[in-house]
Amino acid sequence: MVQHATTNAIICDFMIGEGIQKSRYGCDDMTAVDRIIDESYAMERYIDAQSGGPGLGWFRVVHTPAEAREVIAGGKLAVILGIETSNLFDCKLTPGAGAPTCDEAYIEAQLDHYYDLGVRAIFPVHKYDNKFSPGDGDRAFIELGNFANSGHWSNFTLDCPDPQVGGFDHGDVNFGGLNMPRDVYDSKAPIDNSAFPDAPLNTTTKYIAEILAPPLVGPYCQNASFTPLGEHLVSEMMARGMIIEVDHLPQWSYLRAYELLQAAKYPASGSHGRNNNGQLYQLGGVSTTGFGVCRDDTPGSTVQGFKDKIQFIKDKGGYPAEGFGFDLNGFAGARGPRFGDGVCPSPQTDPITYPFASYADDVEFTQPVVGNRKLDFNTEGLVHIGLLPELIEDARRDAVDPADIEPLFRSAEAYIRMWELAEKRGAELGG
């Protein structure tokens, strides 16, 4: 399992600045990242204590592929720490008072620091623009957050890759009045939004006319790519054998990342499902999957997409396996139910019943309970990650052959192979 430290300073600032929640810690992204890393180790220690002492628990933070293999062979969960945040290393596009000087030496020192803390996977950028790259180009309220975070107008253009490469960065611009493309990505911000943390609404409502302007319709994308500092970050991650997460990169940065990866023959992780038309697998990287929800008259319909994806990976020379990617952070949705009024277009049959056996037939599952309430996967879906066995069982029952979902259970092997290749190339590049 990859445990990414994920946060959003603008949402935190809004909640606290408007008095919706009280402040317990600073809202800066890296403050939250550090806390999440600390709490991951605290969780490991807690589970150890419940299991008889240090090293005995089932939750094991691992730092090398060899450690991961050893933990998995022992029947425990290998956990890889990562970072998925916008203002990575406090390198905001528009630095505030007391901000660090984000130069090459600082980036290298930060990579060393977080590597020593056990971090092995990093997204160069998340939702908002930073010193390394434009943000992922997500639309909706994210456009407002980016405006508040940087003091720059939105930077979308119709001058996009042909063909476009998707991701979050595509389509209409919801807040058309905020879009004023600039020639120099990291030019001085025209707007001072430094008061946003203390007065979010007062700060943003000054621009209510721009916010309420109609959307721009068309195939827009972010109007910039990696900065030189962003490319340095990527090369230094490679030199350390770290896992480069590419799926939050906007279109131009995404293409540039693949140029860098191809030149270095270095793998990457597409943990949000992107694969750049198979180039990810050709480089030895991995992506994530999911099963369909609603069954139809064709047996195996909910797993056919998974089967097709595995064949595509094989055709591209990759290791034929793929795991789940759950973005359970409060905004991304989890797998919904199959049963209920209007949930699926056709009547559904064969609900989950209890007890049922695991895929390997070595564990028996009973109905999960929270407090005094029994959870019903059939009508509630994936309420929390503990219902993962139900999700797999639902797919297994629909599969024409149980072997159809077997590649799911080799996804850890695929990830470790990618990690091993990254470390091998890192030693060659960094040496």
Closest to 393 measured CA to CA, from 361, 415, 348: 361
Rounded mean pLDDT, 23-44:
96
* pLDDT tens, residue by residue, 280-290: 999 999 999 89
Rounded mean pLDDT, 101-125:
98
Rounded mean pLDDT, 73-90:
97
What is the spatial distance between Cα 17 and Cα 51, in angstroms, rounded to a whole number? 42
What is the spatial distance between Cα 422 and Cα 418, in angstroms, rounded to a whole number? 6
pLDDT for the residue 431: 60
Domain ranges for the chain, please list them: 2-222, 265-430
3-state secondary structure 11-79: HHHHHHHCCCCCCCCCCCHHHHHHHHHHHHHHHHHHHHHHCCCCCCCCEEECCCHHHHHHHHHCCCEEE
Name the band, by pLDDT with cuts 50, 70 and 90, for residue 299: very high
3-state secondary structure the chain: CEEEEECCHHHHHHHHHCCCCCCCCCCCHHHHHHHHHHHHHHHHHHHHHHCCCCCCCCEEECCCHHHHHHHHHCCCEEEEEEEECCCHHHCECCCCCCCCCCCHHHHHHHHHHHHHCCEEEECCCCCCCECCCCCCCCCCHHHHHHHHHHCCCECEECCCCCCCCCCCCCEEECCHHHECCCCCCCCCCCCCCCCCCCCHHHHHHHHHHHHHCCCEEEEEEECCCCCHHHHHHHHHHHHCCCEEECCCCCHHHHHHHHHHHHHHCCCCEECCCCCCCCHHHHCCCEEEECCCCCCCCCCCCCCHHHHHHHHHHHHCCCCCCCEECCCCCCCCCCCCCCCCCCCCCCCCCCCCCCCEECCCCCCEECCCEECCEECCHHHHCCCCHHHHHHHHHHHHHHCCCHHHHHHHHHHHHHHHHHHHHHHHHHHHHHC
pLDDT higher than 70, residue 330: no
pLDDT higher than 80, residue 421: yes
**Residue 175 near residue 213, CB atoms below 8 Å:** yes
Rounded mean pLDDT, 112-122:
98
The two tokens of residue 21 are 């929640």
pLDDT for the residue 166: 87
Percent of the chain with pLDDT over 70: 99
Q: How far is CA 67 from CA 87, 128, 410, in A?
A: 30, 34, 17
Comparing 187 with 328, which gets the higher pLDDT? Answer: 187
Rounded mean pLDDT, 217-232:
98
Name the band, by pLDDT with cuts 50, 70 and 90, for residue 108: very high
Name the band, by pLDDT with cuts 50, 70 and 90, for residue 430: confident
What is the spatial distance between Cα 32 and Cα 23, in angstroms, rounded to a whole number? 12
Q: Mean pLDDT, the chain, as a whole number?
A: 95
Residue 36 makes CB contacts below 8 A (sequence gap 6+) with 3, 5, 6, 7
Name the band, by pLDDT with cuts 50, 70 and 90, for residue 70: very high
pLDDT higher than 90, residue 328: no
The two tokens of residue 164 are 């476009």
pLDDT for the residue 327: 81
pLDDT higher than 90, residue 157: yes
* pLDDT tens, residue by residue, 352-405: 999 999 999 999 999 999 999 999 999 999 999 999 999 999 999 999 998 999
pLDDT higher than 80, residue 60: yes
Please provide residue 213's backbone torsions phi and psi, each rounded to the nearest 5 degrees.
Answer: -65, 155
Name the band, by pLDDT with cuts 50, 70 and 90, for residue 141: confident
pLDDT for the residue 142: 86
Q: How many CB atoms lie within 10 A of CB 75?
A: 7
Rounded mean pLDDT, 14-28:
93
Rounded mean pLDDT, 188-212:
96
